[in-house]
Amino acid sequence: MNNRKMIIGIILFSLTIAVYSQTAADFEVNGTVLVRYRGTERDVNIPASLGITEIRSFAFSSSITRITIPASVTTIGWGAFQVCKSLISIDVHNQNTAYSSTDGVLFNKNKTILIRYPQGKQGQNYTIPRGVNEIGNGAFSGCSSLASITIPVGVTSIGDWAFYGCHSLASITIPESVTSIGHGAFYGNSLTSINVHNRNTVYSSTDGVLFNRDKTILIKYPKGKQEQNYTIPGGVIEIGINAFSGSYLTSITIPAGVTTIEYGAFSESSLTTIIISAGVTSIGESAFGYCRSLTSITIPASVTFVGEGAFHGCDALLPAVRADILRRFGEYVFENMYL
């Protein structure tokens, strides 16, 4: 009997070593930094024995479905789970002092920052818990199944790319408490309406289009709006970064008073013709990049700056229009600024 127990003990000990070795080998660790998970398991439990305190950005692949973060982790890089399209739950050890989770959603420890909603999590509706005051960078990016996200009063900050790629999200309401909306927060989705509470002191909306409070900056025209024609309201002086990017508009009227067209303002849109009113002085980089249907554009004499790649990919421009732009501003406005 003793020999049998000894044999069983040796076998179990050997299996334990084998499992640990296999698990450890699945993780690329540099010092106390988890650089990348290289294993094939879909349910990943990061061993506490690895001694990691930091998870680097893009550390995990798209195949994982669940991950458990040990108590030792104090830093998670932005985008650590960005490509994890199948991820349904992020679980955090209850003794972790920096992070926490509720229903598989990742927060900081005291749940004032929503860090990451898993892309593969089931359900079409989500209400951000009260007490959250910040929606982190890319927090909901790629969550294509979500049709409704409720932002409670108390949230003051919406991070960069927060709702990027939320293709089922039709509309969103920004409460009165929000004072900061990051770059690209509503880029790359199918929103038809962005509504702002009328008591918000920083932002406003008209017909589902997002502006700053006094409507001098047009921040975002929702990509999912189906209208083909739009007249920018009088009083606007700046068309913001990526404001009309990817829109279905075929024509747009820019009124006198607008002075600045920012980076990527009309990129990848369906515009066929556009007349820029006198008064505009600056057209940013990639402003009309990849407007493949654009045949004609009138640029007033007031324009003194056109950024690199402003017309890159505008292959349908009439020869006379292209020649005039080349003569006035040079070849660089047609070049790919990323090469």
C-alpha dihedral (326, 330, 334, 338), degrees to nearest 10: 180
Q: Which two tokens stand for residue 95?
A: 């003794």
- In CATH, what is the architecture of 226-339? Alpha-Beta Horseshoe (3.80)
Q: Summarize pLDDT for 23-56 with one digit per residue, the tens.
A: 578 899 999 999 999 888 899 999 888 889 999 9
* Amino acid found at 245: S
What's the half-sphere exposure (Cβ side, CA atoms, 13 Å) at 152? 13
Amino acid at 97: T
Q: What is the pLDDT of residues 62-76, one digit of tens each?
A: 889 999 999 999 999
Residue 62's Cβ-side half-sphere holds a number of Cα atoms within 13 Å equal to 3
Tokens of 12: 């179990």
Side-chain-side CA neighbours of residue 205 (13 Å): 21
Structure-token pair, residue 38? 């290289």
Element (H, E) at 5: helix 2-25
Question: Do the Cβ atoms of 27 and 6 come closer than 8 Å?
Answer: no
How far apart, in whole angstroms, are the C-alpha atoms of residue 283 and residue 249? 19
What is the arithmetic mean of pLDDT over 293-314?
96
At which residue do the structure tokens 């001098």 appear? Answer: 216
pLDDT of residue 39: 87
Domain boundaries defined on the chain: 226-339
> Mean pLDDT lowest for which of 13-17, 52-56, 89-93, 137-141?
13-17
Contact 166, 186 (CB under 8 A): no
Q: How confident is the model at residue 2 (pLDDT cuts 50, 70, 90)?
A: low
Nearest to 90 by CA among 51, 139, 157: 139
- Cβ of 128: how many Cβ atoms within 10 Å? 18
Closest residue by Cα to residue 154 from 186, 185, 127, 189: 127
Q: What is the pLDDT of residues 102-159, one digit of tens each?
A: 999 999 999 999 999 999 999 999 999 999 999 999 999 999 999 999 999 999 999 9
Predicted structure pTM score? 0.88
Q: Which of 246, 284, 296 shows the shortest CA–CA distance to 268? A: 246
- Element counts in the chain: helices (H) and strands (E): 2, 28
> Distance of alpha carbon 108 from its chain centroid, rounded?
19
Residues 6+ apart with CB under 8 A from 299: 276, 283, 306, 325, 328
Collect all residues with Cβ–Cβ distance below 8 Å to 212 and sequence separation of at least 6: 202, 203, 204, 219
SS3 164: coil
Structure tokens at 52: 């990691």
Q: Which residues pair with 66 in a beta bridge?
A: 43, 89
Average pLDDT, the chain: 91
Reference 140, options 96, 74, 184, 91; nearest CA is 184
Question: Which two tokens mark 133?
Answer: 């005051």
Measured from the Cβ of residue 208, the count of other Cβ atoms closer than 10 Å reads 18
